[in-house]
Structure 1
Amino acid sequence: MTANNSIITFLAAALVLVTGCQQPSVRPKQICPGKATARQAAAVLGLEKQNVQPMRASADCVMSWRGENGDKKDERVSGKLAFVPPGKIFFKGDKFGEIRFGANETQFWLRVKPELDSYWWGSKALADQCDQMLLVNPVNITEALGIVVVTPDWKLIYRDGYDILSLYEDQKLKKRVYINACDYRIEQIEYFDGYGMKKVSVELTDYWAGDDGLMVPSTIRVGSFDSLGTEESSVQIKLKHIRPLPPEKQKKKLFQRPGRDGYEHLYRLDENCGFIEE
């Protein structure tokens, strides 16, 4: 796999984002009863979302894929992450040169240089409408930190210590969330395409309880699947040195979309869910 393909694999698996109700790979040590209704489940998750605090962390990532001969390949990437709820996020990595992903209240952007020398950006409102077609979606990235917006119209079932909430659109399964009924932490999120096939699975473990109400998963594993339901690539992310983001750094340029800065290719997300070059 070339460096160029490695970048695409990493972004597709780490930053995105077979039907059936699959349990998380690790069963809860303790079995607790679940919530009676989806409305109750949504209320608890809503309270936890309100308690999320601005944070920063270092990130060690290991991405894995199968080479053309079927051999497993691994690539390591290190970076830094900053997050201000509900939707400001910034990631900086330097494995292939410069990799920068960011989002604020209205926009998101991704810059990769020198390997691709490209800069993608768009509005978050359009990204939300194109969630099944985008390589990088700011909503999915926020959810990988265990922050999922659930409403009472989701379908709820309980199984083996987990409340399992499913979102349907036009009678098609779009998203499924597994919640440990004891501590009510999200442990797995599954994303499905327009045909109801699972495309991405996110496992969230080792929640870290820090000062000032911080509670985020310190281990995140993302797997992407082909049309046959076989995992074709994965990324495991270890968050370290998780700590509050000081107020003076929450308003800095991290969360302002930067200018072109000499990038050869500049692409903007359009209404057809495609990126057009400017």
Structure 2
Amino acid sequence: MINSFLMVGQSNMAGRGYLNDVKQIYDEKIKMLVNGRWQTMTEPINFDRPTSGIGLAASFAGAWRLKNDQEEIGLIPCSDGGTSLDDWAVGGALFENAVFQAKLAKKISKLSGILWHQGENDSFGGLSALYYDKLSIIVDAFRRELDVPDIPFITGGLGDFLSGGRYGKYFTEYSQVNDALQKFAETNPNCYFVTAHGLTANADGLHFDAISQRRFGIRYFESLYEKKNILAPLASENELIRIIQDRPLTKKEQGALLEIDFACGKISLSDLEEKLGLLNDQSN
């Protein structure tokens, strides 16, 4: 049985890390939900915008696989960039879509957690003061609608770089949102907070860069696995990223990646057939 995780929030959960900045994670036992069916995960996972890129979910799943090497994990991408808590209000399009997708996943998996990252769009104009109460309503509704009253809910903090970036004037209350997120985790059962301390941004000063997303995913998994808040960077982050990204691929996985490269026009048909032939020779 696949263990599945719902991905909800805005652009930093969807992922905007540059695809070429890190080695891709590919594992046939890491799935993503597409049209109600599981496909082997490829990045970007959460294609909400043409700018979609590396998010935290792939390294989260990779870390999960290190602890569960015989089991499959499924990711349910439902994040949408530039959205506020009001956009995620119960009964709204984003909320209803996430519930619908998660219910589809529940038919073919065990829903095992909710991964949330959101808050940039509630970091100005006094909105941070309303954050705790609004989030409480949304999380309670997710658990009720999906009939998972005790499901772990993992949320991450906003980046410390926000106030100094290109769009800094829009995030004057980001630290108050972080306080609300941490308070929420501390005062609600099976809810956990993951710090963004030490993580860095793309040149826009708004989105976590690719390596930071990899590190963030490790922290999210550690929070889930240990059932606790993660309030400081983990000493093992970089080593775990290396292990996950450099995992030896099976012949089947290598062949699948070659087929993808061919379908995307990265290699010619003759190159594909030559490389597949070499793989087959190695198997004999």
Same fold (TM over 0.5): no
Work out which structure has the larger RCO, using CA pairs closer than 8 Å and 6 or more positions apart in sequence. 1
- When normalised by structure 2's length, the TM-score is 0.30
Kindly indicate which of the two structures has a greater share of residues assigned to helix: 2
Kindly indicate which of the two structures has a greater share of residues assigned to strand: 1
- When normalised by structure 1's length, the TM-score is 0.30
